[in-house]
């Protein structure tokens, strides 16, 4: 709705008579006392002021002609056309009572315009769903405004401070982690403790839980001493187990036993890998060394070790059997390592790598004395969580 215009002390006369029902009229002049022409637009007028024929009218001025003329009651109610007849020369002056009324109506909530980036006006409160959907306009068509109760996806003052490196350590209300947090003595990131030999694990203050990985040692491949063409079996890999253990379930210390690797022996069976344990919580059995009973063209070599006590318990891979094509069997793969390669010709089996894998079997084509490959020792990896 356009705001009406006001020109101070403007007064003129009708240039032509007005009949009842007329929706336009012409003024004799549209120039103020300073000689400036009235700009086109909406105006409110009083006709025949000071007489019993007095009437308030409004209309759109262009030049000296007022079109879309309406009658205006003293209460501001508009109705189309004049309700009275007025003679040529009747007085026409500006009135401002309706201008004030129009202005007040425009700034009231009912009639106020919707706000935009360049216009002040009415906005609508956004819902949480609208905030998350990045909706611009609400159901009424007005722009949406965010209130604190739906600003849950926005960072708090503490969180914003943390993002620029000056916040407090994480807690229930400030969940952001910054470099400041890492240097804060109250914050401790996850710690990884690796045992490649037997020892003792100690629980530190503030520990919440640990993830423990236990890998047993791998068995060795079989050696051979014969004049017959033969490929020997590979050793089995050690078992593997993984556990999540709450701090309350752990002792102040826990004994860690790391299984040794099986040793390949010239002209003889391979040694088995040792068992690996973390306290009484989890156990992994060592891979079996390849032996006489399962060498010489067998389908499988030494058996893989078992595991128990963890959330995940995985048996180690068995070693491969030797072949009649004078090729030793490969050692079994473990969770952390690869089995040793089987030998060809008059050579010993390959050693395993990583943790807990089995050694490869030897091979022989003439009188010789070759050994199986060594397995690899086990490992215990403890990842400690403090937050």
Same domain, 381 and 255: yes
pLDDT at 209 over 60: yes
Q: Does the pLDDT value for residue 197 go beyond 80? A: yes
Question: Is position 24 within any domain?
Answer: yes
Q: Is residue 69 part of a domain?
A: yes
Residue-number span of the structural domain to which 45 is assigned: 11-106
Domain boundary among 74, 106, 138: 106
Average pLDDT over residues 341-360: 92
- The answer to whether residue 170 sits within a structural domain is no
Looking at residue 295, its pLDDT comes to 41
Instruction: Give me the pLDDT at residue 294, please.
Output: 41
What is the average per-residue pLDDT within 232-252? 96
Residues 203, 206, 209, CA angle at the centre, nearest 5°? 65
In the structure encoding, which two tokens stand for residue 59, read together? 């209309």
* Tokens 């909530």 -> residue: 109
Residue 25 lies in a domain: yes
Share of the chain above pLDDT 70, in %: 86
Looking at residues 323-346, what average pLDDT do you find? 89
**pLDDT score of 70:** 96
pLDDT digits (tens, 9 = 90+) for 257-282: 999 999 999 888 999 999 999 999 99
Domain end marker among 46, 78, 106: 106
How many other β-carbons are positioned within 10 Å of the β-carbon of residue 150? 18
Residues 222 and 334 placed together within one structural domain of the fold: yes
Question: With helix as H, strand as E and coil as C, how does 62-90 read?
Answer: ECCEEEEEEEECCCCCEEEECCCCECCCC
The last residue of a domain, from among 55, 71, 106: 106
Alpha helix locations (H) across the chain? 97-107, 128-132, 157-163, 179-183
DSSP state of 324: T
Q: Quick check: is 140 in a domain?
A: no
- Given this model, what pLDDT does residue 184 score? 60
Provide mean pLDDT across the span 354-382: 90
- State both tokens at 266: 């010239």
Residue 204 and residue 93 in one domain: no
Conformation bin of residue 325: beta by default, left when phi > 0, alpha when psi is -120 to 50: alpha
Shared-domain flag, residues 198 and 50: no
């Amino acid at each position: 709705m356009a705001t009406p215009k006001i020109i101070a002390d403007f007064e003129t006369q009708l240039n032509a008579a007005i009949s009842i029902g007329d929706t336009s009229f012409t003024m004799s002049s549209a120039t103020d006392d300073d000689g400036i022409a009235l700009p086109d637009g909406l105006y409110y007028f009083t006709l025949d002021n000071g007489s019993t024929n007095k009437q308030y009218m409004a209309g759109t001025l262009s030049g000296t002609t007022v079109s879309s003329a309406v009658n205006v009651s003293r209460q501001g109610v508009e109705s189309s056309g004049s309700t009275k007849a007025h003679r040529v020369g009747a007085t026409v002056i500006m009135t401002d009572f309706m201008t004030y009324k129009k202005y007040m109506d425009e700034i009231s909530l009912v009639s106020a315009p919707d706000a935009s980036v360049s216009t002040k006006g009415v906005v609508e409160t956004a819902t949480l769903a609208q905030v998350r959907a990045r909706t611009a306009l609400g159901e009424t068509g007005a722009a949406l405004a965010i209130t604190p109760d739906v600003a849950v996806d926005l960072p708090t003052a503490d969180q914003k401070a943390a993002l620029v490196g000056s916040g407090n350590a994480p807690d229930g209300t400030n969940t952001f982690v910054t470099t400041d947090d890492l240097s804060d003595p109250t914050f401790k990131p996850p710690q990884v403790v690796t045992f490649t030999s037997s020892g003792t694990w100690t629980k530190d203050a503030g520990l919440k839980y640990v993830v423990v990985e236990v890998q047993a040692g791998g068995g060795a491949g079989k050696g051979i001493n014969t004049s017959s063409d033969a490929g020997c079996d590979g050793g089995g890999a050690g078992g593997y187990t993984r556990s999540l253990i709450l701090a309350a379930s752990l002792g102040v210390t826990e004994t860690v036993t790391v299984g040794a690797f099986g040793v390949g022996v010239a002209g003889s069976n391979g040694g088995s890998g040792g068992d690996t344990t973390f306290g009484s919580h989890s156990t992994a059995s060592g891979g079996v060394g390849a032996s006489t009973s399962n060498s010489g063209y067998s389908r499988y070599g030494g058996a893989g070790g078992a595991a128990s006590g963890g959330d995940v318990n995985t048996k180690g891979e068995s070693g491969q059997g030797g072949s009649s094509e004078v090729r030793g069997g490969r050692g079994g793969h473990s969770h952390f390592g690869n089995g040793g390669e089987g030998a060809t010709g008059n050579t010993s089996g390959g050693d395993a790598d990583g943790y807990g894998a089995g050694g490869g079997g030897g091979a022989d084509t003439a009188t010789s004395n070759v050994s199986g490959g060594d397995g690899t020792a086990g490992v215990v990896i403890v990842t400690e969580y403090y937050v």
